[in-house]
Amino acid sequence: MKVVIVEDEAFAALRLKKMIHDFNPEIQILAELESVAESVKWFKSNPEPDLIFLDIHLEDDLSFAIFDQVNISSAVIFTTAFDEYAIKAFKLKSIDYLLKPIVHEELAAALKKYEQYSGLHQNSVDLQSLYNLLTGSDKKYRERFSISVGTKIKMVEVTDIAYFFVLDKGVYLRTKQGHTYNIDFSLDKLEEMLNSATFFRINRKYLVNISSIANMVTWSRSRVKLELNPKTDEEFDTVVSVDRSAAFKNWLNS
């Protein structure tokens, strides 16, 4: 069996490769690819593998973009850290997936299933339909937050929020009017709750509303520094991190 791994986290790719060889040392891993661009280039110049392990979120785009640029008929097993909503989409479409962090037993079951049904369903995956399910308008996003202010509870509409940020060990939101409130969610959780077309995590400390970006300045190492409205407390906290720069530029143009 010939396999390609498409995964942008080096540790996750290494771990998956080891588990595949633990299952069957004779499986040949042809390539380990990290991005949509690298994957498209490889698939255009190499014979197709039997099976692709495909991460959904890559550093430069969703992996579905690969199939927009090159025809691939290989079987696909998706590897994903998506939430319960997305898992329902996979099940609805009868698509093989492995939920991260991948464990040996589930990988073995997926490979055995592939070996048993190899060639019978390689072209049956409706990628466009799956993409619509994962990113479509039927997914419900958070519309407001209830904030405790002393003994009172205040409702803040998401459309009124300029950005979320980490300060010390707390997470705060700042409204477009300049008001700041503590909130009981991590930035990781907020990313799941909010519409990614509107909010983007630029680094470890800031999740910003696109409408709050007042100006952008070229920074070192091909990065971008944002000037937000209202202004932030620390001048250099709003530099887009290196690992998010490509995705940020794609987000601006989407």
Domain that holds residue 113: 2-135
| pTM listed for this prediction | 0.50
Alpha-carbon 7 to chain mean position: 11
Q: Please check whether residues 187 and 120 belong to one and the same domain.
A: no
- Are 106 and 167 members of one domain? no
CATH of the domain at 182: 2.40.50.40
Q: Which of 88, 109, 135 corresponds to the end of one domain?
A: 135
Residue-by-residue pLDDT tens, the chain, 254 positions: 999 999 988 888 999 999 999 999 999 999 999 999 999 999 999 999 999 998 888 888 888 888 888 888 888 888 876 555 456 556 544 457 777 778 889 899 888 888 876 654 444 455 665 666 565 545 678 889 989 888 888 999 999 999 999 998 899 999 999 999 999 889 988 998 899 889 999 999 999 999 999 999 988 877 899 999 999 988 778 999 988 888 898 898 86
**Do both 14 and 104 map to the same domain?**
yes
Question: 3-class DSSP state for residue 164?
Answer: strand
Residues 175 and 203 in one domain: yes
Domain boundary at 135, 153, 174, which?
A: 135
Residues 131 and 148 in one domain: no
User: Residues 159, 249: one domain?
Assistant: yes
Same domain assignment for residues 159 and 193: yes
- 150 and 215 share one domain: yes
In order, the DSSP letters of 32-87 are EE-SHHHHHHHHHHS---SEEEEESB-SSSBTHHHHHHS---SEEEEEE---HHHH
Q: Distance between CA atoms of 183 and 168, rounded to whole angstroms?
A: 13
Closest CA to 188 of 211, 168, 213, 205: 205
Cβ–Cβ under 8 Å, residues 147 and 153 = yes
The reply to whether 239 and 123 lie within a common domain is: no
β-partners of residue 175 are 161
Q: How many domains does the chain have?
A: 2
Domain boundary among 108, 135, 162: 135
Residues 14 and 131 in one domain: yes
pLDDT value for 26:
95
Cβ distance 36 to 44 under 8 Å? no
Both 20 and 40 in one domain: the answer is yes
Which of these, 158, 129, 130, 154, lies nearest to 142 by C-alpha position?
158
Residues 200 and 172 in one domain: yes
CATH code (residue 49): 3.40.50.2300
* Distance set, CA 250 to CA 58, 115, 183, 216, 247 (Å): 12, 37, 29, 15, 5
- Inter-residue contact 106 to 87 (CB < 8 Å): no
